[in-house]
Amino acid sequence: MSTDVPADASHWPPPFLLYLGNAPDDLAAKTARGLVQFRPEWCVGQFRGPECRTSVHVPDMDFAQARAAGANTMIVGVANAGGRLGAEAVADIVAALDAGMNVASGLHERLASHPEIVEAARRNGRHLFDARTPPPTPVGNGLPRAGRRLLTVGTDCSTGKMYATLALEAEMRGRGLAADFRATGQTGIFIAGRGIPIDAVIADFISGGIEWLSPERHDGGWDLIEGQGSLFHPSYAGVSLGLLHGAQPDALVLCHEPGRPHMRGLPHYPLPDLAQTLEANLAAARLTSPDVVAVGLALNTSKLDAAAAARACREAEDLLGLPAQDPVRDGVARIVDRLLDAVPC
């Protein structure tokens, strides 16, 4: 994967200190963990508060140590209840700015909403970046645009779409293909250096935001667009549909976690089945991309043993006639093979 710093990240350049604060569990450190996994060379250390219950396994540092180790930006990726910045976190952010780092946050609550943070940035000549604040974009127009695009879709939220999309980027780049991950969530935005937090845009601009994120390209390369949510999630399906239309995808990869008992956060909603999910996504995608095809399934088998994982992939593969792989266990080579076969570059 390229480790170039895109121009868009010029206000929050790596390397990074990862702020974990008092994260209560592993899930709360999801953004920091994504960065360590996909951009390890950007992560010089982590800052943990006295009650922190997780680690992303990089050296512990305070703000001065991080700056001395070369950190240019502190990334606040930790989500506490309600996505709020507590008084401790605000004080830590001010201290990080005073130590000479920029600060970037993926929380719903904006850094810029705290006057003491704004003032600390000003007096130190440092930048603040709120990844959840979307850029202004036009309304979608659905006009056919040049370039090849793949979108990851899912049976549910949090099925591994970002991971699968990044794995596809790595595999395609490893084959010498032009392929670029296009981020639609805060963790992806920190990894890619740019993107759009699509769940935070005004409802009328969902498809337009994705058209902006992934404009026409003429180099024969691929945009690999990170999907969000699910057409079958009663809370968020509108986001998923607008994303699908705006992506105008040539190819879909369906992401799924076998064995999940119900839709995320909604015990009264069972998961849709794979065939139904794929058909609904293809049907909706045809509105803006009539020739869209499915090229594979990315299964998150992290809760299964090796034998059960292999069986789950085989079953999905037999059911849909598409390569099914767990990107973590198996990579995505067979999905890329199918992609290149189905949509010649």
Q: Residues in the site for its own copies, rule: CB under 8 A? A: 139-144, 198-208, 231-232, 234-243, 245-246, 265-266, 268-269, 280, 283-284, 287-288
Smaller CB distance to its own copies: residue 141 or 302? 141
Report the nearest approach of its own copies to the CB of residue 273 (Å): 13
Report the nearest approach of its own copies to the CB of residue 252 (Å): 17
Smaller CB distance to its own copies: residue 144 or 176? 144
Smaller CB distance to its own copies: residue 31 or 230? 230
Report the nearest approach of its own copies to the CB of residue 66 (Å): 33
Report the nearest approach of its own copies to the CB of residue 162 (Å): 17
Smaller CB distance to its own copies: residue 22 or 105? 105
Q: Which tokens go with 29? A: 């450190």
Report the nearest approach of its own copies to the CB of residue 269 (Å): 6
Q: Are 134 and 201 in contact (CB under 8 A)?
A: yes
Report the nearest approach of its own copies to the CB of residue 135 (Å): 14
Of 151, 104, 184, residue with least CA distance to 292: 151
Residue type, 31: T
**CA dist., res. 257 & res. 156, Å (int):** 8
The angle that helices 274-285 and 306-320 make with each other, rounded to 10 degrees, is 50
Q: Are 63 and 74 in contact (CB under 8 A)?
A: yes
Smaller CB distance to its own copies: residue 178 or 269? 269
Q: DSSP for 126-190?
A: --EEETTSPPP-PPP-----SSEEEEEEESSSSSSHHHHHHHHHHHHHHTT--EEEE--SHHHHH
Q: How crowded is residue 53: how many other Cβ atoms within 10 Å of its Cβ?
A: 14
Q: DSSP character for 303? A: T
Report the nearest approach of its own copies to the CB of residue 229 (Å): 9
Smaller CB distance to its own copies: residue 165 or 228? 228
Q: Are 73 and 48 in contact (CB under 8 A)?
A: no
Smaller CB distance to its own copies: residue 40 or 234? 234
> Within its chain, how far is the Cα of 146 from the centroid?
24
Length of the chain counted residue by residue: 345
Report the nearest approach of its own copies to the CB of residue 226 (Å): 15
**CA dist., res. 300 & res. 15, Å (int):** 30
Smaller CB distance to its own copies: residue 120 or 254? 254
